[in-house]
Amino acid sequence: MSGKTSNDRRVLLIVGGGVAAYKALPLIRLLRKAGVGVRPILTKAGAEFVTPLSLAALAEDKVYQELFSLTDEHEMGHIELSRSADLIVVVPATADLIAKAANGLAGDLASTTLLATDKPVLMAPAMNVRMWLHPATQRNIATLKADGVAFVGPDDGAMACGEFGPGRLAEPEEIFAAIIALLEGPAARPLTGKRALVTAGPTFEPIDPVRGITNRSSGKQGFAIAEALAKLGAEVTLVAGPVALPTPAGVKRVDVETARQMLAASQAALPADVGVFVAAVADWRVDEAFGTKLKKEKGGPPALTFVENPDILATLSATGPNRPKLVIGFAAETDHVEDHARAKLARKGCDWIIANDVTEPGVMGGGENAVLLVTKDSVERWDRAAKDQVAARIAQRIAAALA
């Protein structure tokens, strides 16, 4: 399916029955935001949980429901419908839909579409844990996989029935990532099979239960890099300081607060092929945080004793069995940007430093960035651009370096 971008593609989305059907709505939103066309088929059971109007409004297309609809068959016969998209996606794929597809049954529009199509199929199963583990379901899934059907999920977790285990529908972001991977093919995802670690945002070092040491980092650049790497196929772990940003599609997120927590989470995410350390980590912390809120006293402010935090970039740049093949640090500077970046590259032992001047308006906490890419052999100055554009360029350079 390579040769086109997702903007040229269309998905035929079959919405099955079950409580998890509501997740089809944010999935459609993600696909449309990415420029992917969506044409929904709503099963009778699915219509018990989501409405044709909500699907049509988000998909910006007609919703098909009946196999024997005179109007629909006149406008677009079910055979043509089954081949009108580049990919058929079933969300949620119930035990019933899986069984029908595996055994070639065609009693309604959804099952007929699956039988008549000549396009790839992706199923996202969702069902009770006992139904998922039942030998009949497992036989049907094995049959479909042998026929070339792709699957995403299910996940382990609590279900509406009150049980816990495998059978929970994968999250919309995970399904979206699987769809894009199938639509664009391996050529558009050069980091497939690679693992990436990204840190982002500030850290917060508590002084007492309400005060702490932090900085103005928004996390936007780090989150954008994590998203760009995931779009190129990487398996990304994003270790995030305290920021109010949504998790990028296809990214595993670990939330932390302090520098020590960020180091531990980063080490737990190894091994990785590339580490991109974007987070603005506090250099110091108080030696011991107070257990109660400090009060104003007549003698003036309290004396605080500071100690150094662990150096995450230097620690993970050190030679060892888990050192990423490519280690990239960030340098937020206010003066002599190139000189400080070169010194940091040598001091930390990393492979690249990406530096910026945070005194520029709209950079620290804003949506744009202008960076220098500093390596042992060269310095590149990149023009100011939106942070997602900077992230996409960084991700492409990482892909080239790891090729």
Distance CA 82, CA 114 (A): 7
175 within 8 A of 11, measured Cβ to Cβ: no
- 133, 136, 160, 161: which is the annotated catalytic residue? 161
Q: How far are the Cα atoms of 200, 205, 217, 222 from residue 365, in angstroms, in the given order?
A: 12, 19, 6, 12
* Residue 18 phi, psi dihedral angles, 5° rounding: 120, 155
As beta bridge partners, residue 293 has none
3-class secondary structure, 118:
coil
3-class secondary structure, 278:
coil
Annotated binding site for CTP: 283, 293, 310-313, 330, 344, 348
Strands (E) across 67-191 are located at 87-93, 121-125, 150-151, 155-158, 164-168
* Residue 38 phi, psi dihedral angles, 5° rounding: -130, 125
Enter the tokens of residue 324.
């990423």
**Cis peptide before 154, with omega less than 30 degrees from 0?**
yes
As beta bridge partners, residue 307 has 285
Residues 6+ apart with CB under 8 A from 77: none
Q: How far are the Cα atoms of 120, 198, 277, 326 from residue 400, in angstroms, in the given order?
A: 29, 18, 19, 11
Residue recorded with tokens 């998905």: 11
Question: Is position 161 annotated as part of the catalytic site?
Answer: yes
Q: How far are the Cα atoms of 2, 22, 27, 175, 301 from residue 124, in angstroms, in the given order?
A: 22, 13, 12, 7, 58
309 within 8 A of 281, measured Cβ to Cβ: yes
Alpha helices in 135-293 (DSSP H): 135-146, 172-184, 220-231, 259-268
Annotated binding site: 283, 293, 310-313, 330, 344, 348
* Residue 217 phi, psi dihedral angles, 5° rounding: -60, 135
As beta bridge partners, residue 39 has 12
DSSP 64: B
Distance CA 372, CA 341 (A): 9
Residue recorded with tokens 């699956």: 114
Distance CA 330, CA 269 (A): 19
Q: Which positions are annotated as active-site residues?
A: 161
